[in-house]
Structure 1
Amino acid sequence: MAKQPMLKFVTVDRDMPEKRDAKVRAHDFDEIYAEFAAAKAEEQASRCSQCGVPYCQSHCPLHNNIPDWLNLTATHRLEEAYAISQATNTFPEICGRICPQDRLCEGNCVIEQSGHGTVTIGAVEKYITDTAWERGWVKPAAPDVERSESVGIIGAGPGGLAAADMLRQAGVQVTVYDRYDRAGGLLTYGIPGFKLEKDVVMRRIKQLEDGGVIFVMDCDVGKDISFAEIREKHDAVIIATGVYKTRDLTGEGADSKGIVRAIDYLTASNRASNFGDIVPEFESGELNAAGKKIVVIGGGDTAMDCVRTAIRQGAESVKCLYRRDRANMPGSQREVANAEEEGVEFVWLSAPVGFTSGVVEPGAAGAAAGVVKTAMVQRMRLGAPDASGRQSPEVIDGSDYHEDADIVIKALGFEPEDLPTLWDTDGLEVTRWGTVRAEFGSGKTSLPGVYAVGDIVRGASLVVWAIRDGRDCVAALLEDLNAGAAIAAE
């Protein structure tokens, strides 16, 4: 009788890839986790219980067939494991690195609920696809038949790229327009290299280019080309711009110099540290934490990216202010733990109410009037639950204090830009939150032939949801193109 290759969670303990020492990794932007070796990946995959109702799969936005590719990995059938993984996920090596598995697949693993420790799903997913790249299994799109229809995609982030890949596989002609000089959106400029090394993103961009996707970069829709022109050039358009408008701080001194947006700070760091670009704001110290006292406002994953970036830039101190406690923060607990190991101090139940600024001695480095000096902080406590069920923060009277700061980074979340106004487009309906109103599942908007996916529809969300939206939208768009082609043929 053949030996049972799976269900080894009772004899094999959970084991993550080795994590680099915090004192070492805090000085570079390399990824912090090592790769699984083949034997270790097979061992960890074999812990899967192959349960009848795989909650890992149902709690994955892409509904990845996780039990099957774990089984294939455990039984030395890695190329088949890759094929199963790629079938539902356009970028599995990226999701394996940056998805909050602790809140999604791994957090709902059946053996985790029984006290045995979850299967290391994300690490195995990353191993499968990295191996596929090394062995040449990842190929550019090569459709059997090229179609005449073309689709314009506005935004080269994860949602737009996922849609581009699916459309090219179907033979549709695809042009992607993006305001930045490199494709990838937040994958390229928003997420630091220690979570997602940039060569991982760039090789996917090249694969899409090799598969026939045309990228038009440094193209700001509404300025360099109108939305109407893009609609005229293509049979359909997908809006995948994401959300980049920063939620602002209020209170005295909120406009002081030295109070910066998280997206500007992270973009400057990624350009300088990962691509070697000359970034004037980084070189001047405006967006460089080296030798400075850094205060980050916020408790989401963007805030975690900022505090950990500041550590690597050589900040004198890094503090993160969040108005709720650790248990109620929206960011990944794994990221919080990594940040603490690297030297970040979290100041829970605290929020800024204003800022003081000072005038630096004339001629001093970076001398300027109105440069932030301290954050005026209120201590909080948790009161009654709000409409979402989370406990609302309440101010503790008389608890105010001043937190020294040379740079304050706003990481309070993102909101959508006013696209109908920016693009001078009547009829593009938006919700009361400013997101594009789109049909669930298909992404169809109020304009014929125009679809929308990702954060511009959902609001700020996860990369994996943007990928899901891009794939679902293309399925609906292809049905519409096929219906149009059938009518034209009659």
Structure 2
Amino acid sequence: MAKQPMLKFVTVGRDMPEKRVPNLRRKDFHEIYAEYADEKAKEQAGRCSQCGVPYCQTHCPLHNNIPDWLRMTAEGRLREAYELSQVTNTFPEICGRICPQDRLCEGNCVIEQSGHGTVTIGAVEKYITDTAWEEGWVQPIAPANERPESVGIIGAGPGGLAAADHLRRAGVQVTVYDRYDRGGGLMTYGIPGFKLEKDVVMRRMEQLEQGGVGFRLNCNVGDDISFEEIRATHDAVIIATGVYKSRELPGPGAGAKGIVRAIDYLTTSNRLGFGDSVPDFDSGELNAEGKKVIVIGGGDTAMDCVRTAVRQGAESVKCLYRRDRANMPGSQREVKNAEEEGVIFEWLAAPKGFKGDPVSGVMVQRMRLGVPDATGRQSPEVIEGADYTESADLVIKALGFEPEDLPALWDQPELTVTGWGTIKAQYGSGETDLEGVYAVGDIVRGASLVVWAIRDGRDCADAILTRLNGVKKIAAE
């Protein structure tokens, strides 16, 4: 009788891939986790309890068939595991690296709830697809039949690329328009290499190009091409621009030199990784080397900024967040990684103003948590008389992102937006009030996760295919 490969959680402990030691990893932008070896991947996948109600799958936005591909991995059926994982997930190797598994699949694992330590789902997912690339199992898209219809996608981030992949597999002609010189959106220019090395994104871009997806890069809709031109060219249009407008800091001195936006800071750092010439880094404006750095915010973008500053050789790095650790929106795993690398967190602290121009300090007010707000989280309240000043040479604003005013930028007053400025679109399909125009990802949800953008892109592609198969012309006449 064959040896049972599963249900090992009682006898085998949770074991993540080896993590590089902080004093080494803080010197470069390489990913901090090593890859599983084959036997270790089998062992950890075999810890899955194969429960009857897989909460890991339920709490995954893509509803990935996690128990089945874990079992296949444990049994050595790795190619089958890869083929099953990519049925629901366009970019499993990316989600395996950057999804907040502690809040999604792993955080809801049944054996985690029973005290045995969660299955390392993300690390196994990464291992499966990295192996698939190495073995040549990942091939360019090759539609069984080409179709005459075309879809234009504005934005080469995860939502737009997921839709492009899905549509090309059905034979639809796809053109992606993006303002940047490389595709990938925030996966390329926002997320640092120590979480997602850029060759991982670039090989997906190459695969999409080889599969027939057309890219018009350095193309700013509204300037280089009008939205109406795109609508007239294609049978359907998907808006997948993401949200890039940074929330501003209030308070006196907020406009001082040395106070910068997180998106500018991270983009500069990632461009350097590509070998680009970046004058704002060379001038020192977006370079943390030798500086006392203060990052304001408590989300994953703030974690990206503090850990980037460490690697650039900052003298000190502190993160100010107005709530406590338990109430921060960012990944607890990322906070731990940052602390290991020397970042100091000042919880229950909010900026009141700034000293100097260029900036020399942040005036900080101490906070406490009061009654819950409309979302159920406790609202921070100022503790009077507890203000103090933190020295700073570089202040990075990581307070989140808001949508740009697309109806105005694109001269489309009929494009309906919500009270938050996001595009109003139907749940599931992404249909907007404009005929033949869809919207997906952060431009609909507000700043969210890559995995949700992938889900939206795939769902929207399915809705468009249903419409096209109904032989209903949906382009602007």
Counterpart of 1:464, as a letter, is V
Residue 366 of structure 2 corresponds to which residue in structure 1? 379
Does the CA contact (< 8 Å) of 2:235 and 2:473 recur in 1? no
Within a 5 Å distance, the mapping from 1:242-281 to structure 2 comes to 242-272=242-272, 274-281=273-280
What is residue 461 of structure 1 aligned with on the other side? 448
- Find the counterpart in structure 1 of residue 283 from structure 2: 284
Q: Distance in 2 between matches of 1:335 and 1:469?
A: 25
Q: Please state if 1:439 is matched with 2:426.
A: yes
2:296 paired residue number: 297
In 2, the alpha carbon distance for the partners of 1:72 and 1:21 equals 32
TM-score for both structures, normalised by structure 2: 0.99
Q: What residue in structure 2 maps to residue 72 of structure 1?
A: 72
Work out the CA distance in 1 between the residues paired with 2:473 and 2:68: 38
CA displacement, residues 253-282 of structure 1 (integer Å, 9 cap, x when unaligned): 00001100000000000001x201110001
**In 1: Cα distance, 2:397 partner to 2:287 partner:** 15
The AA in structure 2 aligned to 1:130 is: D
Q: Look up the match of 1:410.
A: 397
Shift of residue 3, structure 1, vs aligned partner: 1.7
Deviations 1:209-245 (A, max 9, x none): 0000011000010011000000011110000000000
Superposed CA RMSD: 0.9
Normalising to structure 1: TM-score of the pair? 0.96
Letter in 2 for 1:398: G
What is the CA–CA distance in structure 1 between the aligned matches of 2:152 and 2:21, rounded to whole Å?
Answer: 45
Is 2:465 the partner of 1:482? no
Match of 2:26 in 1: 26
Indicate the SS of the match to 2:29: coil
Following the alignment from structure 1 to structure 2, what is the Cα–Cα distance between the partners of residues 398 and 161?
51
How big is the shift at 1:485?
A: 5.6
Q: Aligned partners of 1:356 and 1:419: how far apart in 2?
A: 35
Amino acid at match of 1:355: F
Counterpart for residue 396 of structure 1: 383
| Residue 344 of structure 1 pairs with residue 343 of structure 2 | yes
Aligned partners of 1:288, 1:213: CA distance in 2, in Å? 36
Inter-partner Cα distance in structure 2 for 1:485 and 1:404: 62
Provide the aligned length of Structure 1 versus Structure 2.
Answer: 474
The residue type paired with residue 426 of structure 1 is: P
Per-residue deviation, residues 386-415 of structure 1 (Å, max 9, x unmatched): 111111111111111111111100000000
**Matched residue, 2:164:** 164
1:58-96 Cα shifts (integer Å, max 9, x gaps): 000000000000000000100000000000000000000
Counterpart secondary structure, 2:354 = strand
Distance 1:484 1:416 in 2: 34
Partner of 1:155: 155
- What is the CA-CA distance between 1:4 and the residue it aligns to? 1.2
Counterpart-to-counterpart distance in 1, 2:462 and 2:60: 19
Deviation at 1:484, TM superposition (A): 2.0
Secondary structure of the residue aligned to 2:468 is: helix
CA distance in 2, matches of 1:295, 1:173: 47
Q: Which amino acid aligns with 2:129?
A: T
Instruction: Provide the rounded CA distance (Å) in 1 between the counterparts of 2:345 and 2:60.
Output: 30
> Which residue of structure 1 lines up, in the alignment, with residue 13 of structure 2?
13
The alpha carbon displacement at 1:2 in A equals 2.1
* Aligned twin of 2:112: 112
Verify: 1:429 aligned to 2:416, yes or no: yes
Take 1:387 and 1:447, find their aligned partners in 2: how far apart are those partners? 32
Equivalent residues of 2:426, 2:432 under 8 A apart: yes
Show structure 1 runs of 5+ residues with no match: 358-369
Write the mapping of 1:302-313 to structure 2, written as runs, cut at 5 A. 302-313=301-312
Percent identity, please: 79
Residue matched to 1:367:
none
